[in-house]
């Protein structure tokens, strides 16, 4: 058709630098927050590192739930697979180089993502949710029974990672683990920003909004979702491996339903469908949990519950999503 040869003033009108500048700003914010955390809470680095690991889990969940619209309560299966794979690699096979452990965790997470994706995507809606719960219970039970490798309910201990790059040993205060975690988080964050802007990212957002339209364009909804599940698994696996490397133990709780459900709560709290939302939700939830449980060990769960109800009722887009909406309204009213 001849119409395609007319060149419209579109290409030059589009500012191409803006998204990269925004990503750079995102990386800078993470960096500044990381430095602030390091100096403000030097005694809590282990908690901060744990938060980073869970952030990776919540980012991974955001890919399938926030971007693709798949409801799942079994996402910790991917995180736990990464944690156990990295732990078993170190304890049983003597692979104690930390970056190799993370790579093994990512691969194991991707495989777990493939397996659970194939199972969970058989169903829709409620059936999908129930299948995801079944998946997490099966993973949990498999890890429990395979105690030769996993240590069963005692947990897998004796993980002794080598120094990072052969230079920075993992210390008692968790400084190395923290910096290692921040490095992984920034790397994953940048890769995911590229991913969600890519053609595949756009396709997945389309699938969440109308899968029938996507198939009428000739794209396979299922194949795309499984591909995203594999990517998501790799991200969660990195989180699991980070947890194994930093705490040097892996427990069955990493493969638990509770861990899955909490990840979903954090995502909803921060705002699904945005990488920043996933990060904000994790920090707020885990920090709140930490502070409130120390202040009132008896009623802290009640307070967490009240916070959640408040967010879901009054800020249904999550903390980050609502903040963005308010900002836009503010800027709009000034113009």
Residues that bind another protein (CB under 8 A): 1, 3-11, 14, 16, 19, 194-195, 197-200, 202-203, 205-206, 209-210, 212-213, 215-220, 224, 227, 231
Comparison of 167 and 212: residue with beta carbon closer to another protein: 212
CB of 58 to another protein, least distance (A): 21
Beta-ladder partners of 168:
164
CB of 13 to another protein, least distance (A): 9
Q: What is the CA radius of gyration of the chain?
A: 21
**Cα dihedral 7/13/14/15 (nearest 10):** 150
Question: Largest Cα–Cα distance in the chain?
Answer: 72
Q: State the nearest-atom distance from the C-beta of 231 to another protein, in Å.
A: 8
Quick one: 137 or 205, whose CB is closer to another protein?
Answer: 205
* Contact status, residue 108 vs residue 82, Cβ threshold 8 Å: yes
CA distance 69 to 41: 36
Q: Which two tokens stand for residue 152?
A: 């069963």
Least distance in angstroms from the C-beta of 181 to another protein: 24
Nearer to another protein, 172 or 331 (CB): 331
Nearer to another protein, 7 or 335 (CB): 7
Least CB distance to another protein at residue 272 (A): 13
For residues 6 and 172, which CB has a smaller minimum distance to another protein in the complex? 6
Question: Quick one: 199 or 297, whose CB is closer to another protein?
Answer: 199
**Inter-residue contact 266 to 276 (CB < 8 Å):** no
Which is nearest to 33 in space by CA: 15, 55, 11? 55
| Nearest distance in Å: CB 201, another protein | 8
Check: CB of residue 250 under 8 Å from CB of residue 156: yes
In sequence order, what are the residues at sequence separation of 6 or more whose Cβ sits closer than 8 angstroms to the Cβ of residue 324? 274, 317
185-to-51, 55, 128, 131, 275 alpha-carbon distances in Å: 11, 8, 29, 30, 12
Name which of 36 and 194 has its Cβ closer to another protein.
194
Q: How far is the CB of 114 from another protein (least distance, A)?
A: 16
């Amino acid at each position: 058709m001849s119409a395609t040869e007319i060149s419209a003033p579109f290409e030059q009108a589009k500012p191409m630098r803006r998204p990269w500048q925004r990503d750079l700003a995102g990386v800078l914010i993470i960096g500044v927050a990381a430095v602030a955390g390091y100096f403000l809470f030097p005694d809590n680095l282990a908690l901060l590192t744990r938060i980073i690991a869970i952030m990776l889990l919540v980012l991974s969940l955001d890919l399938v739930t926030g971007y693709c619209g798949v409801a799942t309560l079994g996402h910790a299966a991917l995180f736990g697979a990464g944690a156990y794979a990295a732990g078993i690699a170190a304890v049983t096979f003597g692979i104690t180089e930390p970056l190799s452990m993370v790579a093994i965790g990512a691969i194991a997470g991707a495989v777990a993502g493939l397996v659970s994706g194939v199972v969970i995507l058989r169903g829709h809606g409620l059936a999908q949710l129930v299948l995801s719960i079944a998946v997490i219970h099966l993973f949990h039970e498999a890890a429990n029974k395979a105690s030769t490798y996993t240590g069963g309910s005692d947990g897998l201990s004796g993980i002794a990672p080598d120094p990072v790059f052969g230079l920075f040993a993992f210390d008692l205060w968790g400084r190395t683990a923290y910096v290692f975690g921040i490095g992984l988080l920034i790397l994953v964050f940048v890769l995911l920003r590229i991913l969600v802007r890519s053609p595949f990212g756009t396709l997945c957002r389309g699938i969440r909004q109308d899968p029938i339209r996507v198939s009428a364009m000739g794209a396979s909804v299922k194949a795309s979702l499984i591909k995203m599940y594999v990517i998501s698994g790799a991200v969660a696996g990195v989180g699991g491996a980070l947890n194994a490397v930093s705490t040097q133990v892996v427990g069955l709780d990493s493969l638990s339903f509770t861990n899955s459900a909490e990840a979903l709560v954090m995502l909803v709290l921060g705002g699904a469908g945005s990488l920043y939302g996933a990060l904000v939700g994790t920090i707020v939830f885990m920090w709140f949990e930490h502070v409130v449980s120390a202040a009132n060990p008896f009623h802290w769960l009640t307070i967490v519950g009240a916070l959640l109800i408040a967010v879901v009722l009054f800020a249904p887009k999550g903390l980050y999503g609502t903040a963005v909406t308010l900002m836009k309204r503010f800027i709009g009213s000034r113009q």
